[in-house]
Amino acid sequence: MPFTRDQIRSSIERAGDDHWQALIRHHEDAYPASRPTPGDICRAEAERLNQLGLADRPDMRLAQTRVERQDGSVRITHIFESGPSKTRQPIEPYTNYE
């Protein structure tokens, strides 16, 4: 089942409020310039993960998504759980929301 915007938002919220607030500040601090909204980023991340085929992996579950602000962008790291021991493994961080 493909990832949705709401699933990505929930994943960010599971990482902690600081991560969701980082997305909000990334958007608001740029005013009057226009950066993607947190919802836009969640939607784009859902599409990106779907294109990578990660939604089609029944052996992996999205555990949390971490957001770090950088100079004019955000770095997004998705952490997946796999196997019966629920081993956590991050995928390559993504930075491209300026």
**Whole-number pLDDT of residue 83:** 84
Tokens of 76: 């997004």
Adjacent-strand bridge partners of 58: none
Domain ranges of the chain: 5-95
Which residues of the chain are modeled with pLDDT < 50? Answer: none
Q: Enter the pTM of the model.
A: 0.92
Query: Rounded to whole angstroms, how far apart are CA atoms 60 and 8?
Result: 15
**Whole-number pLDDT of residue 6:** 98
3-class secondary-structure state, position 50: helix
**Whole-number pLDDT of residue 4:** 97
